[in-house]
Amino acid sequence: MKEINVIVAMTESRVIGKDGTLPWHLSEDLKLFKAHTTGNIVIMGRKTFDSIGRPLPNRRNMVVSKSIKDADKVAGVEYFPDLDHAIEAAQEGDGRIFIIGGASIYHQMIEKADRLYISLVEGNFEGDTYFPEIREDVWKVTGTEPHTGFTLKIYERK
């Protein structure tokens, strides 16, 4: 079974979005996201896919949606009715599995993930979408990398 990695940028108060977008722009964090996910599998919810607007290049794109219609499907994207089917399909072929959002997907995967890549964004940002709590009895920090405007923290399941 492949490991499941969650990757997210959030504030200290766990804000991950506002009005369907990121409330900040950190090009260094986007480069880090690209470095981790390129050549791998990205699994996301429909709203996250809609906010990106296209399949991410050089990645296997999987979208979870209960309500997607054939007419709305985009070439280069695999669609699944639920996370279990997406995770099962991701076991086939090459590449690491990265869960890239949004909130509903993160809430479902926090209990199943093996590793978290958390870009902890500096500053206070208002938001309407939040990442689930990272419980200290479940997760331990195994790496910390300071960057301009954020710190990457890597957590592994205890």
Backbone angles phi, psi at 112, to 5 degrees: -105, -15
Dihedral angle computed from the Cα positions of residues 121, 126, 131 and 136, in that order, rounded to the nearest 10 degrees: 60
Per-residue pLDDT of the chain (158 residues; tens, 9 = 90+): 999 999 999 999 999 999 999 999 999 999 999 999 999 999 999 999 999 999 999 999 999 999 888 778 899 999 999 999 999 999 998 999 999 999 999 999 999 999 999 999 999 999 999 999 999 999 999 999 999 999 999 999 99
Residue 110 CA to its chain's centroid (Å): 11
Find out whether 94 and 60 touch, Cβ atoms under 8 Å: no
Question: What is the domain partition of the chain in residue ranges?
Answer: 4-157
pLDDT of residue 2: 96
Return the residue matching tokens 């050549």.
39
86: tokens are 């997406």
pTM of structure: 0.96
| CATH architecture of the domain with residue range 4-157 | 3-Layer(aba) Sandwich (3.40)
Q: How many residues does the chain have?
A: 158
